[in-house]
Amino acid sequence: MIGSVLGGIGLFLLGMSLLISGLQAVAGDKLRSLLRASTRNHLTGLASGAVATALVQSSSATTLTVVGFVGAGLISFPQSIGLLFGANLGTTSTAWIVSLLGLKIKIDVIALPLVGIGAGLKVFGGKRLGQAGLAVAGFGLIFVGIDILQEGMASVAETIDPASLAQPGVMGAVVLVLVGAIMTVIMQSSSAAIATTLAAVHAGTLGLDQAVLLVIGQNVGTTVTALMGAAGGSVPARQTAVAHVLFNVVAAAVALLILPVFLFVVKWISSMTAGDDPTIQIAIFHTIFKLLGIAILLPISAPFARFVERIVPERRQGLTRRLSEGGSSVPEVRLEAARQTVVEVMSEVVASTRRVVDPQSPGGNAEGRLDACREALASTRAFMEPLRTDPTSQQAWARHVALLHAIDHLDRLIEACDDREPATRVRRDEAVREVHDGVVELLQRADAVLASSEDVDAYEAAERLASDLSDYRRIHRPKILEQTASSDLSPLVAEGRLEAIRWGERLSFHLWRALHHLRGADLAESSAELPTEPDALET
């Protein structure tokens, strides 16, 4: 009896795991594109969050992606509210699948063939077909688990009187809500807990009144999992977990207060559509339960978001604030968080370099700011350490490689800024004043490109300036050496000027290359044409 129940739950969880993994691999890019494009308003976010969760059968997967987007700065926390509410609504699809199919499907007719087909695709198909095979096998395995769970619950029904579980009064309701919450915490899956409840109702072990209290508890219990997962994580992760908790707690409290009315509405809807099937009634209850929370909180989403932000304030500042572990299992999110960090670091490096070239310019202590940039780049490298990109995914691969190039060039640019003697000479020696002016103008163009990667004029001007500074060395180096040979210049002055020219070329080269690769990483995101390597400069 117990073995069948545990085995059924285990197979259900295994099937869910395979289904989620397969669907995420097959639809991952489209899922993320759907979520990113849906933050124009809360209604589109709600619809997208629900669809995405129904597709991958995991509110956790959707929530994790949303957390990563917030942490990477792609969307703000208030913009994520609609997506979070939609993920809560989308998770009700599991109850509908189980009640409409899982408890009625013949295991040997559909479920087992699905497992066989999925396994065949995994073994004999290519990479993408193999991932689809995992999803198909997982889908079939879910029904195998439900079938075994039904058998176990039927045995439980023979030994346990359902009436004994129906304790009267408030305390009886509280006990069942707590039992439901504990079920979710133990199973680490509200879907599995609800499937177990549906199987128990189908077997006659539980009545409708008891089951809905368990479902309320299971939805509250899933918030414990979210809190545990967010503990010690980034501020966006904790804000998301708190929003998830408040959504389910508010919905649970209101549902308990109006439970008799709630059940009357559920039974009325069921009688008009599916008759008196208690499993369908539970699926209806679960959906209305989530819609109730949305109806209460979505109209006040702006003050709700501000309330959550006051509970969990953002205290982390500085260049590395985006480098959190929230959403780090989503490679594109981790890559985007790193890219935005590097863009901000480069803006800081440009401002500090301007201060090095012209100490009178505003901006404070250039040395301290450059040290902070150096540390931020080291943190970014550490953050990117676990990131692995598939070369067959051309856009992601191009962005990853371009970002690594940009980080390397920024490191070398900071090293060039540390060499202050030639920087002083290009500022003071009129003979190499063109180098100073060229670097200053290049820094201005870099600012414009960093503000908008689509500023083609600023980008092309920066390319020309870098090329001109490289040509300057090739033109003036022989002249300086000839002047030295004819005693028009002392060897020490000549060496100082040559070093200043080399410094200007080195600085402009790494500044241009970092800008070039960062722009490439940005354009790869929008599928625009990537910049090509300029003929005038080395890579």
Residue 224: phi and psi, rounded to 5, are -65, -40
- Residue 321 counted as domain residue: no
Residues 278 and 418 in one domain: no
Residues 364 and 486 in one domain: yes
Q: How confident is the model at residue 537 (pLDDT cuts 50, 70, 90)?
A: very low
CATH code: domain of residue 509:
1.20.58
Residues 130 and 96 in one domain: yes
- Residue 142 counted as domain residue: yes
Q: Are 517 and 405 in contact (CB under 8 A)?
A: yes
Residues 340 and 287 in one domain: no
- Residue 186 counted as domain residue: yes
For tokens 């009436």, the residue is 163
Average pLDDT over every residue of 211-235: 76
- Residue 400 counted as domain residue: yes
* pLDDT of 530 higher than 50: no
- Residue 535 counted as domain residue: no
Q: Are 108 and 75 in contact (CB under 8 A)?
A: no
Residues 278 and 380 in one domain: no
Q: Which of 252, 283, 311 is the last residue of a domain?
A: 311
> How far, in Å, are 27, 83, 177, 206, 307 from residue 300 at the CA level?
32, 15, 27, 37, 11
Q: What is the pLDDT of residue 514?
A: 92
Residues 539, 532: Cα–Cα separation, whole Å: 11
- Residue 369 counted as domain residue: yes
Q: Which of 245, 276, 311 is the last residue of a domain?
A: 311
Residues 100 and 216 in one domain: yes
* pLDDT of 535 higher than 60: no
Average pLDDT over every residue of 252-271: 88
Domain count, the chain: 2
Residues 238 and 367 in one domain: no
Q: What is the pLDDT of residue 65?
A: 67
Domain housing 206? 2-311
Q: How confident is the model at residue 522 (pLDDT cuts 50, 70, 90)?
A: low
- Residue 445 counted as domain residue: yes
* pLDDT of 412 higher than 90: yes
Q: Which of 279, 311, 343 is the last residue of a domain?
A: 311
Q: Are 117 and 96 in contact (CB under 8 A)?
A: no
Q: 169-182 pLDDT, tens per residue?
A: 677 788 888 888 88
Burial class (CB in 10 A: 0-12, 13-18, 19+), 159: exposed
Average pLDDT over every residue of 410-436: 88
Q: 447-506 pLDDT, tens per residue?
A: 888 888 777 888 888 888 888 888 888 898 898 999 899 888 889 889 999 999 999 999
Residues 198 and 255 in one domain: yes
Q: How confident is the model at residue 423 (pLDDT cuts 50, 70, 90)?
A: confident
Residues 168 and 296 in one domain: yes
Q: 23-61 pLDDT, tens per residue?
A: 556 555 555 565 666 666 778 888 888 887 776 666 666
Q: 108-157 pLDDT, tens per residue?
A: 566 677 788 888 877 777 766 777 777 778 767 766 776 676 566 555 54
Residues 77 and 170 in one domain: yes
Burial class (CB in 10 A: 0-12, 13-18, 19+), 299: exposed
Residues 288 and 338 in one domain: no
Residues 338 and 225 in one domain: no
- Residue 25 counted as domain residue: yes
